[in-house]
């Protein structure tokens, strides 16, 4: 899997989210300052609620911008089979007969990117599985508590 292409797909997804979030923040701001939103009495909090919403959406947009900057400057090291897992690694695990692919990134965990006919999930070191994988090598096994049982993930490949 080409990491540069994967990074560009992550950035494109984040830019799409940024555009959506920015538009939502502008709509909420316009609602907060609209003439129709002026309070009719002391109990009318519509404009205050809209301003809180706009502020939260603006913060989220700023966070997404930060995520984009992190990925644009992220070095993409090449890992050898016996190297330990670190930020920038693509990790394949096997668990219960299934293979999963992960990209260990600095932020934006939870994004799913389809590339080279497979789905890659972005993990961060703050996530439970990301925290367990950091510093491991191909062949190592990590155990993650699940809903009904502990799930064992064997690191099949690091690139």
Q: What does the domain layout of the chain look like in residue ranges?
A: 3-72, 90-158
pLDDT at residue 33 is higher than 80: no
pLDDT at 37: 64
Mean pLDDT for the stretch of residues 105-126: 90
Mean pLDDT for the stretch of residues 106-111: 91
Q: CA 69, CA 65: separation in Å to the nearest integer?
A: 6
C-alpha dist (Å) from residue 11 to 28, 92, 108, 126, 149? 25, 22, 10, 20, 35
Q: What percent of the chain has pLDDT over 70?
A: 96
Q: What's the pLDDT tens digit per position in 41-96?
A: 676 677 778 888 888 999 999 999 999 999 999 999 998 878 899 999 999 999 88
pLDDT at residue 3 is higher than 80: yes
pTM exceeds 0.85, yes or no: no
Domain 90-158 classification at class level: alpha beta
> Mean pLDDT for the chain?
88
DSSP 66: H
């Amino acid at each position: 899997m080409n990491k540069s292409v994967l990074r560009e797909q992550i950035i494109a997804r984040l830019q799409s989210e940024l555009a959506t979030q920015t538009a939502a923040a502008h709509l909420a701001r316009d609602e907060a300052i609209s003439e129709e939103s002026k309070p009719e009495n002391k109990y009318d909090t519509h404009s205050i609620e809209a301003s809180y919403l706009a502020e939260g959406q603006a913060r989220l947009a700023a966070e997404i911008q930060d995520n984009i900057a992190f990925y644009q400057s992220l070095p993409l090291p090449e890992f050898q089979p016996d190297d330990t897992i670190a930020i920038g690694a693509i990790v394949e695990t096997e668990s219960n007969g299934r293979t999963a692919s992960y990209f260990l990134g600095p932020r934006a965990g939870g994004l799913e990117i389809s590339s080279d006919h497979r789905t890659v999930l972005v993990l961060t070191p703050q996530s439970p599985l990301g925290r367990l994988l950091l510093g491991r090598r191909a062949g190592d096994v990590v155990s993650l508590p699940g809903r009904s049982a502990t799930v064992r993930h064997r690191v099949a490949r690091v690139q």
